[in-house]
Chains A and B, each alone.
Chain A
Amino acid sequence: MAHATFDIPSSQNITRTTLANGITLLVYENWSAQSVNLYGTLQAGKLYEAPDTPELASMTATMLMRGTQTHDFTALHEALESIGADLELTASVHNVVITGKALAEDLQVLLTLLSDMLRAPTFPEVWLTQLKAQLQTSINYALQDTRYMAERTFRDALYPPTHPQHSPLDRTLAYLPQVTREDLQAFHARCYGAQGMILAIVGAVKTQEAVALVERTLGDWHNPAQDAPRVAPVVTPPETTRRLFTPIAGKTQNDISMGTLGPTRRDPAYTACMLANSILGEFGMMGRVGHVIREEAGMAYYAYTRLEGGESQGTWQLNAGVAPHNVDQAITLARDEFARLTQELVDEEELADNQSYFVGRLPLRLENNNGIASVLEAMERYGLGLDYLRDYRDIIYSVTREDVRAAAQMYLNPDALIISVAGSEGA
């Protein structure tokens, strides 16, 4: 039997188009299944809301799917769901992220509805009332969630009140009753526009057809009032360790969020940090911290680290769930591993294993449409170039043991961490 050859997305097979209104479109054909995915970003995230209007960006994004000038709520969702399609708009720190999928035959419907939501939302009052009630319920639930509360408190301590990552729940609770339909309309009018929008389309569609559909549905979108791109404030990392505790009654396990500020994705040290993080809390069974906390001490089902690395300074942190009486020991073990990474060169074999892990994982990351589309969008957003995946192996293997230690030393001060614990008293 004749077997297919496997292409990697590159400048040879990705079509990059810039529409006259500023939208950057990336299209990659993938005929492995009869489906198509969208992944895109708009510059309308939390960064564009004022500190005293928390969740305004998120509520605006959600309300885009509650009714438009041509589709009320029911018609909008009936149109999507009746064809087995899915479309979501979610506000992150910098952007509103668009994710969508449909059978390839329905791409036109998907794009038409997306255009309608982005350009002609009506923000129905009745649905705003609903959304407020839903948010109130989800906050009530979050207040009892040890994992969520450890994380929320960690971020609120790490970032200053002027930063979009600082978003305490009491501020949201105070704002919720005040937010009006006019607030959402004003945010939409100011922040939503084609300038800076990136859209990746991957699936069983011909490139020319996809480009023509985007031109037809979004090509004439202009918003002269659209805000200029914003940059998040630069944050100073903590200078000493601070420990915070959020008591939540009736819990049998406490959660720990512990760490500091990491690099931006554009930081030259990002790749070295990514490898350092993998060694620290990812590779194998959750790296070095997983080994000492889970495998050796048997204290946790999960204990891992992660590096965010977005457009502004993200976090570099540990997450673990342990019994209340094990909290102190888990923190000590993790802190010691943070320190070891900054003091000692990693083993040659350990680095080689992790480099092999990242390079080898590429086919899995690119197996499905959504995986490819999200990578294409990131390549565009961070200026990595269309041949980033082709060059990926060289980029990963250019990192040395010294680079890893230097990256850890630059960001991961074990004596200046935010340590947030949520759960039962006595931790």
Chain B
Amino acid sequence: MTTSIHTLANGLTVILKEVHHAPLVSHWVAYRIGSRNERSGQTGISHWVEHMMFKGTDKFPAGMLDHAIDRVGGQWNAFTSMDYTMYFETLPVDQLTLALEAEADRMVNALFDPEEVESERTVIISERQGIENRPTFWLGEQMRATAFHVHGYHHEIIGDLADLHTITRDDLYAHYQTHYAPSNATLILVGAFDTAQILPQIEALYGTLPSRPQPKLFVRPEPPQLGERRVVVERPGKTAFVRAAYKTPPATHPDWFKLELLDSVLSGTNGLDNKSSRLYQALVQSGLAANVSGGLQNTVDPFLYTLSVTLNDGVKHEDAERALLTELERVQQEGISEAELAKAKKQARAVFAYAQESVTEQAHALAESAILGELDWADRYTERLEAVTLADVQAAAQQYLVPRQRTVGWLIPTGSEA
């Protein structure tokens, strides 16, 4: 496997990683623009622009690429997160030119046809309504808005319904023109190509795109939290939830890895079962909960470590919350064991190995690293976890899992009636 990094004259960063185990290539373009950079009144605009990128250019009218990529057996999609918007195509390596041409073209030539904008407005509102059908969506939305008063992490990626009704075509196009520039993007290729052969093609297609200054991103830092915050949401239904979310450092901070390891011990490792985790034993095994989960996100700015408990029928919120917080206090006081530390590290190694089976997953990891501003972030992930010590984990628990940094949320089900 060979990875090389290049910068084109117009500012586009290019990461190429040859992987030759399957006749495939995964092609990603990651833009440094996400919901954290959205102003009030324009929440959800990054995600809506992502939808409009599938609505055609002069060269590739709407629908043409859906068919062209399926026709060659490829897949394509896009994601908007709090920190980024990413587009990818994974397809047979002999069809790579299609992906290169498509993404280079829509980086500057997307049409934003007014009729398509209106049609997509209702599609996105439908997307939001589909998510709203889950009672936990309302709890999550309220908790973020409570945990963040100033920073853009305070609103959902999909956006507020009020803004989805009022954002205009001009708003969308301005957002696109400002942020979709080579200097604000990273191109990632992972797969069975030859670097020497593909670089001239990348230069020809992407290197000729007009250079623009790197956009200044709208970011407002969150002031320190001064005490515990609490949220109660009532929705129809019968299932109760308790969540606790703690402010955490960004993914590039050394403490993030200590908390990631701590989370493995508390709620399990992402992608694996968690029945031997501490919180499963304390909450599910004890009969209080049907399920418990947790996780950090690898964000650019400080975000949240969230623990979520699905209560069993008849269990009181305060009892589940007390059991959850007791476990967190225990790890603060006693730390974790050598065996727990070793288990978390081996799990990280296994999950890393599983990801190596897929060029799509490898490319995604590189794209996220680029957004974080550390191109080797994913490659060094297991190494950084390996360096975490028992003392580090306990110190991180004592520093971050404190009431002053906490937002607690209860979802109270109100039964069958609205």
A contact residues vs B (CB 8 Å cutoff): 1, 3-4, 6, 30-35, 73-74, 77-78, 80-88, 101-103, 129-130, 133-134, 136-138, 140-141, 143-147, 248-253, 283-285, 291, 294-302, 321-323, 353, 356-364, 366-369, 423
Q: Tell yes or no: B171 within 8 A of A by CB.
A: no
Q: Contact partner of B347 among A84, A250, A323, A360, CB < 8 A?
A: A84
- Having A133-B290, A251-B132, one finds 4 other A-B pairs with CB under 8 Å, namely A134-B291, A250-B236, A300-B123, A322-B126
Q: Is there contact, CB below 8 Å, between B343 and A82?
A: yes
Residue of B nearest to A102 (CB): B350
Q: Is there contact, CB below 8 Å, between A253 and B132?
A: yes
Q: Which of A4, A296, A297, A301 has the most CB of B within 10 A?
A: A301
Q: Tell yes or no: B239 within 8 A of A by CB.
A: yes
Smallest distance from the beta carbon of A203 to chain B beta carbons, Å? Answer: 9
Across-interface contacts of A141 in B (CB, < 8 A): 237-239, 310
Q: Contact partner of A3 among B20, B120, B124, B418, CB < 8 A?
A: B20
Smallest distance from the beta carbon of B17 to chain A beta carbons, Å? Answer: 13
Take A73-B275, A283-B67 as given contacts and tell me if A364 and B73 are in contact as well, using a CB distance cutoff of 8 Å: yes
Residue of B nearest to A84 (CB): B350
Q: Tell yes or no: B228 within 8 A of A by CB.
A: no
CA–CA, A304 and B311, complex, Å: 34
Q: Tell yes or no: B199 within 8 A of A by CB.
A: no
Q: Contact partner of A298 among B75, B118, B274, CB < 8 A?
A: B118
Q: Is there contact, CB below 8 Å, between B133 and A353?
A: no
Smallest distance from the beta carbon of A274 to chain B beta carbons, Å? Answer: 14
Q: Is there contact, CB below 8 Å, between A253 and B359?
A: no
CA–CA, A366 and B122, complex, Å: 37
Smallest distance from the beta carbon of B141 to chain A beta carbons, Å? Answer: 13
Q: Is there contact, CB below 8 Å, between B287 and A133?
A: yes
CA–CA, A136 and B358, complex, Å: 37
Q: Is there contact, CB below 8 Å, between B359 and A137?
A: no
CA–CA, A241 and B73, complex, Å: 36
Q: Tell yes or no: B353 within 8 A of A by CB.
A: yes
Q: Is the interface of A mostly helix, strand, loop or mixed?
A: mixed
CA–CA, A300 and B130, complex, Å: 9
CA–CA, A136 and B271, complex, Å: 25
Q: Contact partner of A368 among B54, B66, B129, B357, CB < 8 A?
A: B357
How many of chain B's residues have a CB under 8 angstroms from any CB in A? 81
Q: Tell yes or no: B21 within 8 A of A by CB.
A: yes
Q: Contact partner of B418 among A250, A300, A369, CB < 8 A?
A: A250
Q: Is there contact, CB below 8 Å, between B313 and A140?
A: yes
Q: Contact partner of B192 among A3, A252, A284, A300, CB < 8 A?
A: A3
Jot down 27 A-B pairs with beta carbons below 8 A, ordered by A: A4-B20, A32-B21, A35-B353, A73-B285, A81-B268, A81-B273, A81-B277, A84-B272, A84-B350, A103-B353, A129-B287, A133-B312, A133-B313, A144-B236, A144-B238, A253-B126, A253-B130, A253-B132, A284-B70, A298-B118, A298-B121, A301-B130, A356-B73, A360-B72, A363-B23, A367-B24, A367-B359
Across-interface contacts of A80 in B (CB, < 8 A): 273, 276
CA–CA, A285 and B124, complex, Å: 15
Across-interface contacts of B416 in A (CB, < 8 A): 249
Q: Is there contact, CB below 8 Å, between A361 and B73?
A: yes
Residue of A nearest to B73 (CB): A360
Interface residues in B204-256 by Cβ distance below 8 A to A read 235-239
CA–CA, A362 and B92, complex, Å: 10
Across-interface contacts of A103 in B (CB, < 8 A): 349-350, 353
Q: Tell yes or no: B405 within 8 A of A by CB.
A: no
Smallest distance from the beta carbon of B290 to chain A beta carbons, Å? Answer: 4
Residue of A nearest to B354 (CB): A35
CA–CA, A297 and B116, complex, Å: 11
CA–CA, A128 and B113, complex, Å: 58
Q: Contact partner of B119 among A249, A284, A295, CB < 8 A?
A: A295
Q: Tell yes or no: B74 within 8 A of A by CB.
A: yes
Interface residues in B272-309 by Cβ distance below 8 A to A read 272-277, 281, 284-285, 287, 290-291
